[in-house]
Amino acid sequence: MYFEIGIVNFDTNSATMTVQENYSLKKFNTFGIDAYSRYFATFNTVEQLKELLSDNKLGQTERLILGGGSNILFTKNFDGITLKNNLKGIEIVKEDTNHYYIKAAAGEVWHEFVMHCVNNNYAGLENLSLIPGCVGASPMQNIGAYGVEIKDSFFELEALHIADKTIQTFNNADCKFGYRESVFKRELKNQFIILSVTYRLNKTANFNTSYGAIEKELETMGIKELNIQAISKAVCNIRSSKLPNPAEIGNAGSFFKNPEVSRHKYESLKVSFPTIVGYELENGNVKLAAGWLIEQCGWKGKTLGDAGVHKLQALVLVNYANAKGKEIYDLSQQIMDSVKEKYGVELEREVNIL
């Protein structure tokens, strides 16, 4: 059981921090799950973060760093300290003939940062418009959409090493980016807190409109002269038409990764399921559309209590009212089991489970 609600104040050179006990995280996760954290604090500066990590009592407890809370599902209360990243700031740190190098603090809202870049003609992130979350999560997840991933424009990041409080710089290779993966989700998990991310963005845009329905949406919009503002608007239109707004229906976007199978496995599946959706990869394997697999198993639009699968996008699990995180997790497991049984394909959750 948790302590009764209490407040502890810390005086630092930069500001006074408040650490609260038994604190609801409902408004800090896009699923809207009413989980509680044993302790909770926000940090607005790196100095505040170091102070919180150095406290003898709080420094030894388990830590959870929250940005936008858009890629996490709470299945239980958190018996540690939740630190809300409120680091802010966007600046051009350098430029060369072809690029701007834009540094953003980890606590910046991702979509607002993308709009800042689009409005200033810094090209490269426009296809990633309207993705929920904060800047700090973008390299951790190697977020991607509509044919673009963070690794395509990532330059470097700064992160605080929790153990010794030093700030280290990671370049593209250091991050070991994969499909919705990075070194921070694998061997360096829970060892660093991302402070800022620098992107290398183009002065002359390389338009990427071949993925999904972007070209069709641009046609509908009546765009005659292509620019990154139009692509960003098209992406926003598509996402808004297919994906529920977390402010209205609790969700974390795509809940599952698109599974990768061998070419042989794909050809075998195609014999039994001729309309199966797959995309050839450079390594010779085929990436299957998880949403198609889930829909074909009859899950699209299905509800189990207040937990459900969205009616327009089978990849998205939703909290229609007051679902428990465990209910959404159990629903995801049923979906995974049914896909495995029908197709012999194992789905993997993209959302972090706590």
Classified by CATH at the fold level, domain 250-353 comes out as: 3.90.78
Classified by CATH at the fold level, domain 7-85 comes out as: 3.30.43
Is the fold of 7-85 the same as that of 90-242? no
* pLDDT for res 8: 40
* pLDDT for res 181: 87
CATH number of 90-242: 3.30.465.10
Distance CA 209, CA 334 (A): 35
Distance CA 48, CA 56 (A): 15
Q: List the catalytic residues.
A: 180, 254, 350
Distance CA 127, CA 103 (A): 19
Contact (CB, 8 A) for 339 and 293: yes
Distance CA 240, CA 256 (A): 19
State what percent of residues in the chain have pLDDT above 70: 94
Domain boundaries, the chain: 7-85, 90-242, 250-353
- How, if at all, do strands 352-353 and 72-73 pair? parallel
* pLDDT for res 279: 86
Distance CA 117, CA 111 (A): 10
Q: How many angstroms from the chain centroid is the CA of residue 183? A: 15
Task: List residues bridging with 171 in a β-sheet.
Answer: 156
User: With a cut of 70, which residues of the chain have pLDDT below it?
Assistant: 1-17, 56-60, 212
Sheet of 278-280: strands edge to edge? 260-261, 286-288, 278-280
Angle formed at CA 199 by CA 70 and CA 221, multiple of 5 degrees:
70
Q: Which residue has the tokens 């100095």?
A: 47
* pLDDT for res 2: 35
* pLDDT for res 234: 94
The string of pLDDT tens digits covering residues 237-264 is 998 888 888 888 999 988 999 999 999 9
* pLDDT for res 283: 86
φ, ψ of residue 104 in degrees (nearest 5): -125, 135
